[in-house]
Amino acid sequence: MNSKVRYHQRRLADVAAALRQARTQISREQGPRAQLAQHQQQRLETVVRHAATHSPFYRRYFAQTGALGAAPVELARLPVLDKSLLMEHFDELVCDPRLRRHQLLDRVSQMTRDQLYLDRYRVMLTSGSSGRPGLFVYDPVGWRSIGAQFVRSSSWAGLRPSLPRQRMAWLGGAAPSHLTRQGAATMAIGLHRVLALPVTLPLPQLVEALNQFQPTYLNLYPSAAMWLADEQQAGRLRLAPQILVTVAELRTPAMTQRLQDAFGVRPFDVYGCTEGLFGSECQHHQGIHLFEDTTLVENVDSDGQPVPAGQPGARLLVTNLYNRVQPLLRLEVTDLVTLDPDPCPCGRTLVRVSTIHGRSDDVLSLAARDGGRVAVHPLHFGLLTRDPQVREFQVVQNGPVLRVLVVPRQAAAAANNELETRLGQAVAQQLLGLGVQDPQVTVERREQLPRSAGGKLKLVIADPTSRPVHTNAS
Ligand SMILES: [Zn+2]
């Protein structure tokens, strides 16, 4: 059988399996927490014992520490894994000795289309907002689980395989190795019509391609959604999506409102990371339910201690229950979130994230009036998205000075500095309110803002020399 036929058959099998898995997962979403805990423990036992047998890294760890006896596996006794450890020990951490970090990195950089490695593996590279890249590998079973999470979140948003077929447009990472691109390629098997566009295309081209395709389902980053909202309101873009899904970047309430005004539908916020944690808003739009039946989540403080629901954590520890080729146990993800202690009116018992405050690498540390330091989270700059003349912005820290780079909407004439003055005052006021001493803010106009290799917009770029030293487990 030639490889093209095999590739196509693999995709068909992947989607069929993902649909089945998603149905099973959805059927138990409203079950009691005790049932969920039992399911999680069973899966944890399986992945940890698998790692202890097949991963040289974990085999050595368990042999040295004796942490894995006959007793039930205790998550809290497993070591914490961070990105640098993951990359440093990549070759001995994976369960297939043919997988070598340097070969995979070479391969990823040369990928021009959706390709499997060794006819089997999906390889993904994350740019890492902290500048530390992450290399992730999924085998066919793991990849189908990712597919199931996609099917699940889109079914929450109302997407059903239907006739006529849905027309799905994905605006995602520019690189073929990006999760969104590989996900779109997997789904493009006839169930739905799929258009995957790199977010780095010039805006007029995006507009033209979307006008022609007329998606019923649109999945994109919030910052890209904001450009499209402007284009839609200006009449150049003419879309009538039934489902709008935003992923991967912060979306402020003002942005949600603007999207709803432009497209006439309430956007769903979906969380997903290549590490394996996924989640989605339900129909109540009151926070993101995490799919903790497939990935365990611990919300911890800067010392790695558990944070109670209702309080913000310093990072997440993510334990992927379905990646059997690259065990990801208690892997640090630098998202700052607050979990919601209350049950959701939808009846699902999966925990909800009430607020995503940004990534810990994007938190600014500024001198406080009282002599200490103030942590300023990316969400604190959300006020900029409330200004009707701001299309997008980025805050760049240079020591004590914050440079606010702003792409104005076309309506904002550059005739005077009214916009700069207004925004500068608003940000300074916000910082004063947070206790910052003598905020120094400059506002500069830009035609466009630089994006990461994955096409994402970083709202805040912290000055590493102004960052306090973090206590880190590694
Ligand atoms: Zn809900």
Name the DSSP class of 239: -
Percent of the chain with pLDDT over 90: 50
Tally the C-alpha atoms within 13 A of residue 372's C-alpha that lie toward its C-beta: 5
- For 200-210, write each residue's pLDDT tens digit: 788 899 999 99
In this structure, are residues 171 and 195 in contact, taking their beta carbons and an 8 Å threshold?
A: no
pTM higher than 0.75: yes
Indicate whether 1 pLDDT > 60.
no
Q: For residue 471, name the pLDDT band (cuts at 50, 70, 90).
A: very low
Rounded to the nearest angstrom, the distance between the alpha carbon of 165 and the centre of ligand 1 is: 27
For ligand 1, the distance from its centroid to the CA atom of residue 167, given in whole angstroms, is: 26
Compute, in angstroms, the gap from residue 348 CA to the centroid of ligand 1: 6
pLDDT above 90 for 284: yes
Reported confidence tier of residue 187, pLDDT bands at 50, 70, 90: low
- Tens-digit pLDDT profile for residues 8-42: 777 788 888 888 999 999 999 999 999 999 999 99
Band of the pLDDT at 163, cuts 50, 70, 90? low
How far does the centroid of ligand 1 lie from the alpha carbon of residue 284, in Å? 6
Residue of 243, 200, 191 whose CA lies nearest to 219: 243
Q: How far is the CA of 352 from the centre of ligand 1 (A)?
A: 8
Ligand 1 center from residue 280 Cα (angstroms): 9
Report the mean per-residue pLDDT for the chain. 87
Rounded CA separation 442/405 (Å): 8
What span, in angstroms and rounded, lies between the C-alpha atoms of 71 and 404? 54
Report how far ligand 1's centroid is from the alpha carbon of 220 (Å): 22
Query: Is a pLDDT exceeding 60 seen at residue 63?
Result: yes
- Between the CA of 46 and the centroid of ligand 1 the distance, in Å, is 29
Using pLDDT thresholds of 50, 70 and 90, give the confidence band for residue 413.
Answer: low
| φ and ψ at residue 46, rounded to 5 degrees | -60, -50
Is residue 459 within 8 Å of 394, Cβ to Cβ? yes
How far is ligand 1, taken at its centre, from the CA of residue 287, in Å?
8
Average pLDDT for residues 364-389, to the nearest whole number? 85
Start-to-end CA span in the chain (Å):
47
pLDDT value for 191: 62
Amino acid of residue 234: A
Neighbours of ion ligand 1 (CB under 5 A): 282, 344, 346, 348
Give per-residue pLDDT as tens, 289-308: 999 999 999 999 989 999 99
289 CA to centre of ligand 1 in angstroms: 7
